[in-house]
Amino acid sequence: MPINVLMPALSPTMEKGNLAKWLKKEGDAIKSGDVLAEIETDKATMEVEAVDEGVLARIVVPEGTADVPVNELIALIAEEGEDPGSVTAGRAQPEKTADAPAKPDKPDAAKTQAPAGNETPGGGTMSYERVDTAPEGARPAGGTTADGAPAGQPEGGRRFASPLARRIAKQEGVDLGAVQGSGPHGRIIERDVRAALEGGAAKAPATRAPKDAPASAPKPENREAPAAKETPAAKPAPAAAAPSGLTAKQVMGMFEPGSFEEVPLDGMRKTIAKRLVESKQTVPHFYLSLDVELDALLSLREQVNAGASKDKDGKPAFKLSVNDFVIKALALALQRVPAANAVWAEDRILRFRHSDVGVAVAIDGGLFTPVIRKAEQKTLSTISAEMKDLAARARTKKLKPDEYQGGTTAVSNLGMFGIKSFGAVINPPHGTILAVGAGEARVVAKNGAPAVVQAMTVTLSCDHRVVDGALGAELLAAFKGLIESPMGMLV
């Protein structure tokens, strides 16, 4: 029987992607390891490899298609001995509509029995499913499995849901226990919660309404006497929704028609907007600034660069930047103040053994934050070479998800643009981010007399749930000590 090729989940948080390009055409022989297609996520373009052999019989989703949901059928592969011409797209999954709750395309048991070796580069998975599984009409009525549990629900009753799905469910009063997941292995994702809301089902009990709900909201359940049975019209008090701002029509209505150009949002800009709005709404920021003298660092940098070995063409083996020293200093400072090397995780704090430092890299239309792993253990020349490689691949969108996800902190440097100081927005789940301003000549008092020094201003944005004021100040003091006495970074 033919094999379904599904849109893969190329990162743990991916819910949909763009099918940028097919690298195989219908009728091509497919071998394990062949690159089938290029998939664009919100951050990168990645190649997807085949994990089975056969002939590409049908391309169901044409290249250039945007926002293809994870686990959506994109192609059919005919197995050895099977006539590719007999494989029809009619065997594809039914198209999901926005008016009905999304359903898993196959029972979860089929998904969990996929081959173990189907990982793609970057930690994603390429999903294949056999067409010879029970059709939709053969499933038990009511979306239940043979044991009576809702389809897509893992054993033991635990509901797997993405963080965004959980947040929307909490805000809208949706009971996740009654929502059917359409993500990988039955995971509940955003569109499942939205579909449940549109269908008017899966509402959480009214007793979950906040204490400050308006008087017209249902009253809390009386625990001393049996509660009256709720009528179908009863609705829980809505959770306080975050301000949504002006609509596109409202904004455009303020300007003369023809005086502006509409620029559609690509996946990266949508993700940046969503994550940073979420950060400012959910992460309690506070900011700490101080000035750091650079004379000793600039002198040491000049000496180290001058001593770099050269190849036969006279090209030095490395050339350190001030930002390389900043990355190393922040990594070492986190080791000296380990309580600040942490992130917030809903109901706990995670403290890390190593300093994984992200570095903001501006690209056309957005930015990446590739992560230097275990930066405290690496030499300055290694950090410099690694940063150059990551930045180059970031600008061509060739980074793998595991190269820009994670980390506990980040560096954002606008000094090269002449910016004196600024406050950066924390990129969750990071606990801090260091904003670096321009180095410049400043007059300071030394030994009671004016003196000219090279200095820069740095501002540490802190998540107050993780880093308190005194702890943030301690981290900045350790960073300042390392920058002003940089020889310790060479040991």
Active site residues: 464
Is the distance from CB of 70 to CB of 16 less than 8 angstroms?
Answer: yes
**How many whole angstroms separate alpha carbon 76 and alpha carbon 56?**
6
Q: Which of 295, 315, 299, 316 is nearest to 307 (CA)?
A: 316
